[in-house]
Amino acid sequence: MGQDKILGLSDAEVVARRLGRTPQGKFEVVVRDANGEPTVICNAPFLNDGTPMPTLYWLTSPALIRDIGHIESAGGVQRADLEVDPDELKRAHEAYAAERDTLIPEDYTGPKPSGGVGGTRKGVKCLHAHYAYLLAGGDDPVGRWVQDQFE
């Protein structure tokens, strides 16, 4: 069993520890690892202070964050952007934004989060965000590309 469960920490404590700070908005754990520890969280579309939060799914697994960081530092963002079908990626951004937007009350009139995966409107911004979306059940071609890099 992982260190976080051994210490008996709550999900909120584990996520705060992994972020290095208290989360600034509401979230729920949507994917857990084999030990039951948070792997992906789903963020509310707004932080506690009302600031729009475009990143719906956030990766919290230290091992996955590290491994994907290695892919990114080796030019992975640019490679994924070149290798993934742009139409398929556009559909993933649109689906992500639509899913996030369903969490915003219809009568809300303030600033809203925008963009697709990781807040971007086009292309690839962050492999971590795409992989988190894939793990959470999203049809994300960049997330699948990242998964292929692990094999």
What does the alpha-carbon distance between residue 90 and residue 88 come to, in Å, rounded to a whole number?
5
Q: Is the pLDDT of residue 42 over 70?
A: yes
Q: Which two tokens stand for residue 108?
A: 């809300």
What does the alpha-carbon distance between residue 1 and residue 144 come to, in Å, rounded to a whole number?
28
Q: Is the pLDDT of residue 138 over 80?
A: yes
Q: What is the chain's percent helix, strand, coil content, to nearest 5? A: 45, 15, 40
Which of 8-17, 19-28, 30-39 shows the lowest per-residue confidence on average (mean pLDDT)? 8-17
What does the alpha-carbon distance between residue 120 and residue 30 come to, in Å, rounded to a whole number?
22
If you average pLDDT over every residue of the chain, what do you get?
93
State what percent of residues in the chain have pLDDT above 70.
Answer: 95
How many other CB atoms sit within 10 Å of the CB of residue 105?
Answer: 7
Q: Is the pLDDT of residue 38 over 60?
A: yes
What does the alpha-carbon distance between residue 43 and residue 112 come to, in Å, rounded to a whole number?
14
- The whole-number pLDDT of residue 6 equals 44
Q: Is the pLDDT of residue 151 over 90?
A: no
The H or E element containing residue 76 is helix 76-83
Give the model confidence (pLDDT) of 92-114 as tens digits. Answer: 999 999 999 999 999 999 999 99
- The whole-number pLDDT of residue 7 equals 61
